[in-house]
Every structure is written in structure tokens, then in C-alpha cells.
Amino acid sequence: MSPLITPGDLAALTAASVLDVRWALGGPPGIESYRQGHVPGAVFCDLEADLAAPPGPEGRHPLPEAGRFQDAMRRLGVSGSRPVVVYDDAGSTAAARAWWTLRYFGHPDVRVLDGGLRAWTSEGRPVSVEAPEPPPGDFTARPGGMPVLDAAAAAELAADGILLDARAAERYRGEVEPVDPVAGHVPGAVSAPTTENLDPSGRFHRPHFLRERFNTLGAVPGIAVGTYCGSGVTAAHQVLALEVAGIPASLYVGSWSNWVADPSRPVATG
């Protein structure tokens, strides 16, 4: 089953939890956009509060503790026996983090609305300003559903496999660093900006296109693949694109914000 869903297929679902995961680095809070209009029946999922633990040495968006994540998902009406559809309005970056986190904690059926709210409204589908209060869900969080990397494993993969850097190319090269205290990349990592996963409409490229893209970057059968970004959000988008392409990949959740927290770790530029 594809991890993506079209607006038409979402409209046809009779029983699903729909999460609006609009978020932007540095704000404003996505809840304000949600209140101005969302997919009917969708509830707002806060990336900072529901999909990540507080920032610290493990990174700016470390994994939440299982019990905390379970409580958040149950509050949002998520159950393990019912499909979940997630979306945002910015190229599915935040939605991909929700998809990945739910998958990591064991939900079997999570899909991303391809093209997000823009795709939904471009087809003339309605939006709502009503904030539903779903009955509590019964989702049980069981960690380990998706492969993860720590800093040591990421360094090893950069040397012996393929470690894709999902950030903008200028951040990879170390020319700019708007968020973290050190610029550059993990030595041996390959630049692979997530913006290239999408077509001009904001939808994911077709599987064969993505497969060719990642094959060209070295992600070929028999080679272990991992990805990272600044804090594990856009890297989840890369894992999603790789899955669409049929290529399994691990996520370095702490990503660059965790890598540079230890000054003894090497940094490459250029």
C-alpha cells in the first residue's frame, strides 16, 4: 500500500483519523492556520508538543517518550484499528514527521495526503472551521516500527553505505546555517535536498522518478541507506520519498542538531 493518499481517496474514506500537522520552523503556530480552515473532521496535531520531546543534547526534535506519544494520539482520537491520514500545507514536511512517528510507534496504516491542503482545496473540496472533539482513541505505542540511527551509526553509514543529507544544499556545504551553531555536514554524507522530491504542485514525484533520483545518489539495492536533516523533520520526508521509491531507509532522529552537540564530532564543508 502506498504511504500517500489522494484527496479523492481521502474523501471516500468512511472511517479514519485525520490529523492537521501544519507547522513552520520559527512559527507562527500551525493552530492559527488550522482555525482558519481545515479538512472537515481533521484535528490539529502539534509537531512540537505531540511529535517530539523538548529540545536538548539529543536534538531539537528528539523522539517523544512512548507513553507521552500514546497519550497525545489517544487525545487526538487515534486508534490502532483505524487508518490515520496526516497532512500539512508546506510540501508534506511536517506531515511526514507525523507519518514516520506513528509508524515508528507501531501504527499499521498511516498515509500522507499528497499535496496537502493545497491539493484538497484545488479540487474544490470543502474546508471547515469547526474543531471536532473526537472520542479518545485506543492507540498503543510500541517503539521500533521504523529503523533509526544514532550519531555513531550515522557516521558508520556515511562511510560504508549511503547517508543522505536532506537539508538545502547551501546548508550542506556549510555556506549558511540559520538554526544550528555549527555549519557543514556529516563527513561522507551526500547532499539530497527534500525539495527535489516534489513536483511544482507540491506533490511527490512518481515512484520511478524518485527511484532514479536516489539510485543516482548511490541508494541502490544492497546498500544500506539512512538520512538526516537539521532536527529529524525534513529527514522524515526523505524517508517517506524513499519508501515511495521502494527503498527502505533509516532515520537519524537527532540529525545535525544532535551531531554538533558534541564538539568532538568531525564536520565537513564544501
Segments forming the whole domain that contains residue 217: 148-259
Closest CA to 238 of 88, 45, 97, 109: 97
Q: What is the pLDDT of residue 101?
A: 98
* Mean pLDDT confidence for 61-78: 98
Asked if residues 252 and 148 have their Cβ atoms less than 8 Å apart, the reply is yes
* Mean pLDDT confidence for 186-204: 97
Q: Taking the CA atoms of the chain, what radius of gyration do you get in angstroms?
A: 18
45 is known as an active-site residue: no
Asked if residues 43 and 76 have their Cβ atoms less than 8 Å apart, the reply is yes
CA gap 100, 53 in Å, rounded? 15
Q: How many CB atoms lie within 10 A of CB 129?
A: 10
Give one word for 28, left, alpha or beta, with left for phi > 0 and alpha for psi -120 to 50. Answer: beta
Q: How confident is the model at residue 14 (pLDDT cuts 50, 70, 90)?
A: confident
Q: What is the pLDDT of residue 183?
A: 98
Number of domains in the chain: 2
Does residue 173 form part of some domain?
yes
CATH for 210:
3.40.250.10
DSSP string, 219-265: --TTS-EEEE-SSSSHHHHHHHHHHHTT---EEESSHHHHHTTSTTS
User: Domain ends where: 76, 104, 122?
Assistant: 122
Would strands 43-44 and 4-5 be described as parallel, antiparallel, or unpaired?
Answer: unpaired
Q: What is the pLDDT of residue 49?
A: 96
Residues 26 and 98 in one domain: yes
* Mean pLDDT confidence for 10-33: 92
Q: How confident is the model at residue 203 (pLDDT cuts 50, 70, 90)?
A: very high
- The three state secondary structure string of 65-113 is CHHHHHHHHHHCCCCCCCCEEEECCCCCHHHHHHHHHHHHCCCCCEEEE
Residues 173 and 255 in one domain: yes
Q: Is 241 helix (H, G, I), strand (E, B) or coil?
A: helix
Beta bridge partners of 56: 59
Does residue 236 form part of some domain?
yes
Q: How confident is the model at residue 26 (pLDDT cuts 50, 70, 90)?
A: confident
115 alpha carbon, distance to own chain's centre? 14
Q: How confident is the model at residue 23 (pLDDT cuts 50, 70, 90)?
A: very high
Length of the chain, please?
A: 270
Residues 106 and 203 in one domain: no
80 alpha carbon, distance to own chain's centre? 20
Q: How confident is the model at residue 143 (pLDDT cuts 50, 70, 90)?
A: very high
* Mean pLDDT confidence for 78-96: 96
* Mean pLDDT confidence for 103-116: 98
Q: How confident is the model at residue 150 (pLDDT cuts 50, 70, 90)?
A: very high
Q: What is the pLDDT of residue 29?
A: 84
Closest CA to 40 of 7, 74, 62: 7
Tell how many helices (H) and how many strands (E) occur in the chain.
11, 10
Asked if residues 253 and 233 have their Cβ atoms less than 8 Å apart, the reply is no
Mean pLDDT of the chain: 97
Does residue 139 form part of some domain?
no
Q: How confident is the model at residue 44 (pLDDT cuts 50, 70, 90)?
A: very high
Helix (H) / strand (E) element for 30: namely helix 30-36
pLDDT 10s digits, 215-267: 999 999 999 999 999 999 999 999 999 999 999 999 999 999 999 999 999 99
Q: What is the pLDDT of residue 1?
A: 83
Q: What is the pLDDT of residue 187?
A: 98
pLDDT at 112 over 90: yes
Catalytic member of 51, 148, 198, 229: 229
Does residue 264 form part of some domain?
no
Does residue 266 form part of some domain?
no
Asked if residues 49 and 76 have their Cβ atoms less than 8 Å apart, the reply is no
Q: How confident is the model at residue 90 (pLDDT cuts 50, 70, 90)?
A: confident
Amino acid at 95: A
This prediction's pTM:
0.97
